[in-house]
Structure 1
Amino acid sequence: MSQQIHTNLAPEFPLPFSQALRAGDFVYVSGQVGVDPTTREVVGETIEEQTIQCLRNIETILTAAGLSLDHIVKMNAFVSRQEDFPNYNKAYESIMRRPFPTRTSIGCNIGSYLVEIDAIAYAGSVRGESN
């Protein structure tokens, strides 16, 4: 049985999805975009600004689940413009610690957002710990 994770500190949209679900030791975080949690306005005009906001939104949701970014084992990112990949990677690396989670990054049209990122976290350990 899965348990819904929800926090008012992360962006909320009138769409049919949960911010995150806990299933056993795993927490699955729905795709987050670079919006301010309070205003739901896009943060900045660059891929760097929006990537950092996406990761902060994911972090806020994981905190509500009692976890951190260091618990993430897998991420998927959808980047609107191919030319933004180098700057997306720089912003990602400025927030995420080594060893990095496994990751898939896809170029695709996601409307007015420059990036959307989802995550899978494992509560059993943090990256870099011996299991």
Structure 2
Amino acid sequence: MARLLSVFNNSNHNASICCANQTEKGSAFKDEGAFIDTVIDDSGDKWNGLQLKCKFQYVFRNIYIWDDNWNFKFTEITCGAEYIFKISHSQGVIRLVIEDNGIILLNNDDGANSIYPREEHYRFYKMFFDEDKWVVKPSDK
């Protein structure tokens, strides 16, 4: 199971993380962080995952973060776009940084997540939208 450790908000808008039952796990205003330390549900049902509410690229985002059989998924509910990472370790830990132009996903454990479908591991990934499709750019190794 992957675990979301924290969220840092470097954007000009609020960001919050909720569980499936709408229980807030934490929120962060501009230039603040929130310690979340929550396991990401691995039942394969996105509605049981974590919900990230934030704004970037001038659009409010409602993103479900969930685990589907060793596939770590980000689903943006409004446009239906989905991006999949491969989970390589059973105890992966991630952190999210929200910026005005996208999200940065940090792998705390080396190789915990890899870009899908290749098994190439990167320390962090920059995620944003282009024409309602997820674009993910890995960092240099």
Determine if the TM-score, normalized by the shorter chain, exceeds 0.5.
no
More helix by share: 1
Shorter-chain TM-score tier: 0.3 to 0.5
More strand by share: 2
Query: TM-score under structure 2 normalisation?
Result: 0.31
> Greater relative contact order (Cα 8 A, min sep 6): structure 1 or 2?
1
Query: TM-score under structure 1 normalisation?
Result: 0.32
